[in-house]
């Protein structure tokens, strides 16, 4: 099985492509292999698997967990299509406030590794999408934070103006507010 890792514009975030074998019956792909990931320098210790289903135009994020319960994510879309975004929120990082994104779908089987120190969001582009992500840390509500989806300092070029948001995401703070009590300092 072949796994190809592509370094993104922000080197700590990785796009992962896996080989897919198909015939008239369907297809098979190995989306995670601890030995392969270790050889490629990717995170291999995951403690929690999450699975969400969302309708078109649902936007989830930008979410993160602070250093009380840091959490990296290996994200894939197993049904439909999403745009997946990671924003560097490590104060002092040369790429602070910058983002990388990838279109993940059930067809392309791409995955995005979002490390600790990044806020994460996705927008559903298809009628429905199911997103699965492996986490390097356990969910802890006391450690969670979020940054508003349309923050002008991030300036992500969303393809829609009026996404469907949770109440929590509607009330998210700005990147400038985050800077007053940052969760992550680069190099620490």
Q: Which residues contact 83 (CB under 8 A, 6 or more apart)?
A: 101, 102, 103, 104, 122, 123, 125, 159
**What is the spatial distance between Cα 138 and Cα 50, in angstroms, rounded to a whole number?**
11
Q: Which residues are catalytic?
A: 63, 133
For residue 99, cis peptide bond before it (omega within 30 degrees of 0): no
């Amino acid at each position: 099985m072949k796994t190809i890792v592509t370094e993104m514009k922000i080197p700590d975030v990785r796009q992962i492509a896996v080989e897919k074998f198909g015939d008239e019956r369907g297809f098979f792909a190995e989306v995670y292999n601890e030995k392969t990931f270790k050889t490629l320098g990717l995170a291999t210790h995951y403690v929690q698997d999450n699975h969400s289903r969302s309708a078109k135009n649902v936007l989830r994020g930008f979410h993160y967990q602070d250093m009380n319960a840091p959490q990296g994510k290996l994200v894939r879309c197993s049904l439909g299509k999403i745009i997946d975004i990671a924003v560097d929120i490590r104060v002092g990082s040369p790429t602070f406030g910058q983002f990388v994104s990838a279109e993940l779908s059930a067809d392309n089987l791409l995955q995005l590794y979002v490390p600790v120190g990044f806020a994460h969001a996705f927008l559903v582009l298809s009628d429905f999408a199911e997103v699965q992500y492996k986490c390097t840390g356990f969910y802890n509500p006391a450690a969670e934070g979020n940054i508003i989806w349309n923050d002008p300092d991030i300036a992500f070029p969303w393809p829609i103006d009026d996404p469907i948001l949770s109440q929590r995401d509607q009330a998210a703070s700005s990147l400038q507010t985050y800077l007053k009590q940052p969760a992550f300092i680069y190099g620490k």
